[in-house]
């Protein structure tokens, strides 16, 4: 079982920024596909962003140009920089990883093998 720990969520006003972080204390995930998905109350889960082991990325259209996914292999940490936040970005955000998939798309994060418990992001208008 892979334990993932997300942090960095919070409450911001529209137009603000947050940076989410995700670590896996017991694993080195430099070779894994990684990503973020979110779920708002009463809505289905939505893949947000994915990053492959080679650093290639993919984003949902709803966040393209505003969110940036990145990773620091030395720190074993995944990031999601969220700028120009909108009220519709309000959701629980989950980190996810998969050791076997390649060339992931944002929506693929929904089937990644492991995910964390999430961190809440609330954007007020």
Average pLDDT rounded to a whole number, residues 2-27: 93
- Mean pLDDT, rounded, of the chain: 94
Q: Which of 106, 110, 124 is nearest to 10 (CA)?
A: 124
The pLDDT of residue 31:
85
Q: Is the pLDDT of residue 39 over 90?
A: yes
């Amino acid at each position: 079982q892979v334990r993932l720990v997300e942090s960095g969520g919070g409450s911001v006003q529209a137009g603000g920024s947050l940076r989410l972080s995700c670590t896996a204390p017991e694993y080195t995930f430099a070779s894994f596909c990684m990503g973020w998905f979110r779920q708002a109350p009463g809505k289905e889960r939505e893949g947000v962003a994915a990053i492959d082991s080679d650093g290639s990325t993919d984003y949902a259209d709803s966040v393209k140009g505003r969110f940036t996914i990145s990773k620091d292999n030395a720190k074993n940490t995944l990031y999601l920089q969220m700028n120009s936040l909108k009220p519709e970005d309000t959701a629980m955000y989950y980190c996810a990883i998969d050791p076997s998939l390649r060339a992931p798309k944002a929506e693929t994060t929904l089937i990644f093998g492991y995910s964390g418990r999430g961190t809440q992001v609330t954007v007020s208008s």
